[in-house]
């Protein structure tokens, strides 16, 4: 299904694979996944307070009248259907019950009838059809009985069916609403206004008016309103929404900060790098919304069940009516067939997968883990091998700069190298720039060569900075590098000018993550574009290591493994990882990953804690257990419930009560994911 063909519920945002239910909201036709979501829409704040008040009055009146009808019916008839219906008191009572029932059927029952007709006109059968048939059959027969003075009225059955069904759908939809609302509230993390400094003057503007390049002032205990780079100031910042870590992070000049983070004790001047619409929080919300519009395989299972469920139940209800009509007459046949219609609960199937997956996506987001699509949570369960990129992924982002050797006589050598590397986002460039404290010159024609290095011109001289393969490609023989050092070659106009030296530091969290993955039985590999000497030191940690690989080589490694049956998770952060990530079964981009890597990834980590990788796998398996527990419960409930109803052991009102219990159990079970 193409994304453009996916319908989205106006209230809860759930993806609707079939035909949606249409209600008019403020003069505009809106699509809903169920009647319950329409009810929630009325009271969730999407309507004016006056509309909410009116709806509660309507809802309350309907429930009160339905309860009164049931109480009066049981009091007058006491379950005895052999009364003399020509008795004036009985006739008067029936007319009184009719008058009490009409508001209930009009206020909350009419929507079921209209929805069912609209769905049938679209050649679609919804669960509302079961309720409409049951309720209006009982109501129609009751009206006929009252007007003609024959047969038995079933007003208590008709009114309680719509009242209890509406209540059940409300509970079910409110569970979805809560799941959707938790991410929608993320926008509340942002302040309404920002203080912008312009030519030494401060002014307060709305955050959606802040432009890229503006300088924003933030004081202690204030929420940071923009994504940006600190140009002045230092202090601790709380980034728990993005990283899942409650511990504040020390921030200094040159560090990045996210809109929605909180300055604990620092005053900052921040240069905005994103506008309001493209800030990180809004991108997170956008990613989660897109993920919710995607379909996991469990959702497809539910859709297949639901597609045949309603027609099957209608058929079983008709069979039940025929059997009991022959065995015990019309009254028994009607009650038993209505019980079949009402006890059947396809809602449990419909809600089982999407609600659990939504709660899972929200739970992950609170830990700084963002799903790009729901299928990723499914695919994670089946991986058997994890491949890690090295530089910036398992090693700390900033390498330790150890110095340089110059062979030529180029003046201001390190100044010019730093000026060129200032255009790169590679961890090696960042490490050099963190060490370099001088000023810069302006290079021209700067070109990043993914997997190799960088090319630029300074004073009409052509510079190359990068790997030994880059040097060899331009006809230069690089110098040998000492063991455990990363050597970056520098060439000027076709001659080797110098070498930069770096040491790498492995992330302790990465070591723990690798150990846990191995303990869980996964094969773990390291894949890198760095030279052999700089990669082999990790061979005792990983099951296998690859070195000197270009982007297309990394992609080929993944393709070869998949052709042999491997299910691959690839964890990386750079442009040179994007090709391999794009074809992996699951791909994870870590904090500060390049834009291309983020686009290719199915999961984004907003922190550097790679211990999240084994945790995600366990979490995915727990989500699967909850989804299939929901499926099993729904199957058992419907199997035994329908059997009891067909046997004539359950009255329609109790069927509606059991349907509510089924929906509530699924909603509760799915909500447990939030506490995992």
Domain boundaries, the chain: 1-189, 190-276, 294-370+618-676, 374-395+506-601, 400-503
> What pLDDT, on a 0 to 100 scale, did the predictor assign at position 81?
43
Token code pair at residue 375: 């299928």
pTM of the model: 0.61
pLDDT band at 346 (very low <50, low <70, confident <90, very high): low
- Contacting residues for 367 by C-beta, under 8 A, at least 6 apart: 244, 612
Give pLDDT, residue 82: 43
Q: Which residues make Cβ contacts (< 8 Å) with residue 126, sequence separation at least 6?
A: 19, 21, 115, 116, 119, 310
pLDDT above 50 for 2: no
Least confident of 311-325, 438-452, 524-538, 648-662: 648-662
pLDDT for 609 equals 83
CATH architecture of 400-503: 3-Layer(aba) Sandwich (3.40)
Which residues are CB-neighbours of 313 under 8 A, at least 6 positions away? 130, 340, 341, 344, 346, 642
Query: DSSP for 211-265?
Result: -TT-EEEE-TTPBP-S-EEEEE--EEEE-HHHHS--S-EEE-TT-EE-TT-EESS
Least confident range from 63-77, 282-296, 497-511: namely 282-296
* Average pLDDT along the chain: 78
Residue 536, Cβ density class (10 Å: 0-12 exposed, 13-18 middle, ≥19 buried): middle
Torsion of CA 351, 353, 356, 361, to 10 degrees: -120
Instruction: Please give the residue that has the higher pLDDT: either 166 or 202.
Output: 202
Which spans in 4-154 are helix H? 35-43, 49-77, 88-104, 110-121, 128-148
pLDDT, one tens digit per residue, over 590-602 is: 866 555 556 667 8
CA distances, 439 to each of 403, 414, 417, 433 (Å): 18, 11, 11, 11
pLDDT at 35: 56
Residue 448 tokens read as: 């990043």
Q: Which of 155, 77, 75 is nearest to 109 (CA)?
A: 155
- Residue 279 is predicted with a pLDDT of 78
Q: In 3-state terms, the chain is what percent helix, strand and coil (to 5)?
A: 55, 20, 30
pLDDT at 1 over 50: no
Write down the pLDDT at residue 215: 92
In the predicted structure, residue 141 carries a pLDDT above the cut 90: no
Three-state helix/strand/coil letters over 138-153? HHHHHHHHHHHCCCCC
pLDDT at 408: 82
Cα distance between residue 399 and residue 184, in whole Å: 39
Residue 477's pLDDT is 87
Band (pLDDT 50/70/90 cuts) for residue 338 is: confident
Burial-class residue 361 by CB neighbours within 10 Å (0-12, 13-18, 19+).
buried
**φ, ψ at 463 (rounded to 5°):** -110, 140
pLDDT of residue 523: 95
Here the tokens at position 200 are: 């030494």
Instruction: Please report, to the nearest 10 degrees, the dihedral formed by the alpha carbons of residues 87, 88, 91, 96 taken in order.
Output: -140
Q: Which two tokens stand for residue 240?
A: 């728990």
Q: Do the domains at 190-276 and 374-395+506-601 have one common CATH topology?
A: no
pLDDT at 289 over 70: no
Band of residue 345 on the pLDDT scale cut at 50, 70, 90:
low
Q: In the predicted model, is pLDDT for residue 367 greater than 50? A: yes
| Mode of pairing for the β-strands spanning 544-546 and 568-572 | unpaired
Radius of gyration over alpha carbons of the chain, in Å? 33
Architecture of domain 374-395+506-601 in this structure = 3-Layer(aba) Sandwich (3.40)
Most confident of 74-83, 548-557, 585-594, 659-668: 548-557
Residue 229 has pLDDT above 80, yes or no: yes
Name the helix (H) or strand (E) containing 266. Answer: none
Share of the chain above pLDDT 90, in %: 15
With CA atoms as reference, report the closest residue to 672 among 351, 359, 289, 344: 359
pLDDT at residue 303 tops 80:
no
Rounded Cα gap, residues 401 and 398, in angstroms: 9
Mean per-residue pLDDT for 284-300?
56
Report the C-alpha dihedral over residues 606, 611, 612, 614, rounded to 10 degrees.
150
Across the range 617-645, mean pLDDT stands at 85
Q: How confident is the model at residue 615 (pLDDT cuts 50, 70, 90)?
A: very high
Highest mean pLDDT among 14-28, 303-317, 534-548: 534-548
> What are 462's two structure tokens?
């052509």
What average pLDDT does the segment 185-196 reach? 74
Please tell me the predicted confidence (pLDDT) of residue 44. 47
In this prediction, residue 429 carries a pLDDT of 85
Instruction: Give the model confidence (pLDDT) of 81-99 as tens digits.
Output: 445 556 777 788 888 889 9
A 10 A CB-CB count for 273 gives: 15
Tell which CATH architecture fits domain 190-276: Distorted Sandwich (2.70)
Is pLDDT at 147 greater than 70 in this prediction? yes
pLDDT at 217: 92
Show the DSSP H helices in 522-651 as ranges.
532-535, 551-563, 578-583, 595-600, 612-646
Distance from C-alpha of 386 to C-alpha of 615, rounded to nearest angstrom: 14
Poorest-pLDDT segment among 257-261, 325-329, 373-377, 400-404: 373-377
């Amino acid at each position: 299904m193409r994304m453009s063909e996916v319908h989205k519920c106006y209230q809860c945002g759930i993806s609707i694979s079939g035909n949606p239910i249409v209600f008019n909201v403020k003069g505009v036709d809106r699509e809903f996944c169920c009647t319950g979501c329409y009810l929630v829409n009325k009271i969730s704040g999407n309507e004016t307070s006056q509309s909410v008040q009116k709806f509660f009055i309507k809802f309350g009146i309907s429930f009160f009248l339905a309860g009164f009808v049931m109480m009066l019916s049981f009091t007058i008839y006491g379950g005895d259907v052999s009364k003399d219906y020509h008795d004036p008191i009985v006739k008067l009572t029936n007319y009184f019950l009719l008058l009490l029932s009409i508001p209930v059927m009009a206020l909350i029952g009419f929507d079921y009838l209209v929805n069912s007709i609209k769905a049938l006109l679209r050649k679609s059968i919804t669960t509302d059809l079961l309720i409409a048939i049951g309720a209006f059959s009982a109501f129609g027969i009751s009206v006929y009985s009252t007007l003609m003075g024959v047969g038995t009225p079933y007003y208590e059955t008709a009114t309680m069916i719509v009242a209890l069904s509406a209540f059940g759908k409300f509970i079910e939809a409110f569970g979805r609403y809560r799941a959707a609302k938790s991410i929608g509230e993320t926008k509340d993390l942002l302040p309404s206004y920002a203080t912008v400094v312009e030519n030494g003057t401060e002014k307060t503007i709305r955050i959606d008016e802040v432009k890229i390049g503006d300088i924003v002032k933030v004081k202690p205990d204030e929420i940071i309103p923009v994504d940006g780079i600190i140009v002045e100031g230092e202090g601790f910042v709380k980034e728990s929404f993005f990283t899942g870590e409650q511990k504040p992070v020390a921030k200094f000049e040159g560090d990045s900060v996210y809109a929605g983070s909180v300055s604990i004790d620092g005053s900052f001047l921040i240069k905005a790098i994103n506008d309001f619409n493209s800030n990180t929080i809004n991108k997170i919300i956008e990613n989660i919304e897109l993920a919710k519009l995607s379909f996991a395989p469990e959702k497809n299972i539910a859709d297949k069940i639901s597609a045949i469920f309603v027609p099957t139940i209608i058929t079983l209800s008709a069979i039940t009516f025929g059997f009991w009509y022959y065995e015990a007459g019309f009254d028994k046949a009607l009650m038993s067939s209505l019980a079949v219609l009402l006890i059947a609960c396809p809602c449990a199937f419909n809600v089982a997968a999407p609600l659990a997956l939504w709660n899972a996506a929200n739970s992950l987001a609170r830990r700084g883990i963002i799903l790009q699509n729901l299928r990723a949570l499914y695919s994670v369960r089946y991986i058997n091998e994890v491949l890690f990129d090295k530089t910036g992924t398992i090693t700390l982002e900033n390498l330790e700069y150890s110095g340089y050797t110059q062979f030529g006589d180029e003046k201001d050598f390190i100044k010019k190298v730093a000026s060129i590397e200032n255009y790169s986002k590679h961890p090696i460039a960042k490490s050099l720039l963190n060490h370099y404290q001088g000023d810069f010159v302006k290079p021209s024609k700067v070109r990043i060569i993914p997997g190799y290095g960088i090319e630029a011109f300074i004073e009409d001289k052509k510079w190359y900075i990068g790997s030994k393969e880059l040097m060899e490609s331009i006809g230069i023989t690089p110098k040998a590098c000492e063991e455990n050092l990363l050597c970056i070659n520098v060439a000027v106009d076709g001659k080797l000018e110098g070498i930069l030296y770096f040491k790498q530091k492995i992330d302790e969290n990465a070591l723990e993550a690798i150990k846990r993955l191995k303990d869980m039985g996964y094969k773990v590999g390291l894949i890198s574009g760095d030279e052999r000497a700089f990669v082999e030191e990790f061979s005792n940690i990983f099951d296998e290591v690859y070195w000197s690989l270009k982007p297309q080589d990394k992609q080929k490694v993944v393709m070869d493994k998949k052709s042999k049956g491997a299910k691959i998770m690839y964890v990386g952060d750079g442009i040179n990882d994007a090709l391999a990530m794009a074809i992996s079964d699951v791909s994870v981009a870590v904090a500060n990953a390049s834009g291309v890597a983020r686009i290719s990834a199915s999961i984004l980590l907003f922190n550097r804690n790679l211990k999240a990788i084994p945790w995600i796998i366990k979490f995915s398996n727990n989500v699967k257990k909850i989804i299939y527990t929901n499926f099993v419960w729904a199957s058992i409930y419907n199997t035994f419930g329908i059997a009891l109803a067909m046997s004539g052991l359950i009255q329609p009102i109790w069927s509606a009560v059991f349907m509510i219990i089924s929906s509530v159990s699924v909603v509760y079970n799915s909500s447990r994911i939030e506490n995992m």
